[in-house]
Amino acid sequence: MNHAADVLLVGAGGIGHPAALALAAAGAGSLLIADDDQVELSNLHRQILFRDEDVGRSKPEALAGALSRRFPALAVTVLPGRILPDTALDRVSLARVVVDATDNFASRFLIADACRIAGVPVVHAAAVKWRATVLAVAAAGRPCYRCLFEDIPREDAPDCATAGVAGPVCGVSGALAADRAMRILGGDASAFGSIVTYDGGRDRLREVRVAARPGCPLCGEERTITAITPDRYEAYDCS
């Protein structure tokens, strides 16, 4: 398959910035950035590449500009708008690996499903309060995001918007995600099959091997999620 870029970064926020910096510094040649948000003053403490004059601008456009100034050889392309059910498959197929730096469960599950269906590896990165979590998933899963978390929470679950997040923890999450993405690009299969957590309150980094769930609907032997069905996500905000 011919890909338009090495990496598709979904989310130009607190995790996306350190991930993009690390990817560029590590030698990723091309980067796609997808987001539909605008820069706010409250973002600046953790979205480290934005400047005061970026407030009010498109986040992916501002991030792309900052990266281009620092890494002139990096090919950066903005994909306007968020990843939605009707665009997810086409967009994840553009890259060799996807970095999921979104901040809500609906988007994470949508990206997980699209990447498995399209056969593209994905690195899921999250940060809430003082804890960062990163999971790299192979193109065929085994294990995948749904092996661990099964489905979108039906009740309110903490995320960075409701529970807050410490800026440095976003940096750790982004750096770990970039490490996994670069290992995947280099053909290193050891990136898969474990979940990495960082507890900023205790300054502890753990990597734990995880097993595939036999009955997983996304990557199990009798999987049932083989297409992106909008009503699976429509009750939630994929932003």
Q: What is the distance between the alpha carbons of residues 18 and 188, in angstroms, rounded to a whole number?
A: 22
Q: What is the distance between the alpha carbons of residues 97 and 149, in angstroms, rounded to a whole number?
A: 21
The SS3 assignment for 189 reads helix
For the question of residue 160 being annotated catalytic, the response is: yes
Residue of 160, 170, 219, 238 marked catalytic:
160
The SS3 assignment for 96 reads strand
3-state secondary structure 136-186: EECCCCCCCHHHHHCCCCCCCCCCHHHHCECHHHHHHHHHHHHHHHHHHHC
Classify strands 95-100 and 75-80 as parallel, antiparallel or unpaired. unpaired
* Start-to-end CA span in the chain (Å): 28
Residues annotated as part of the active site: 160
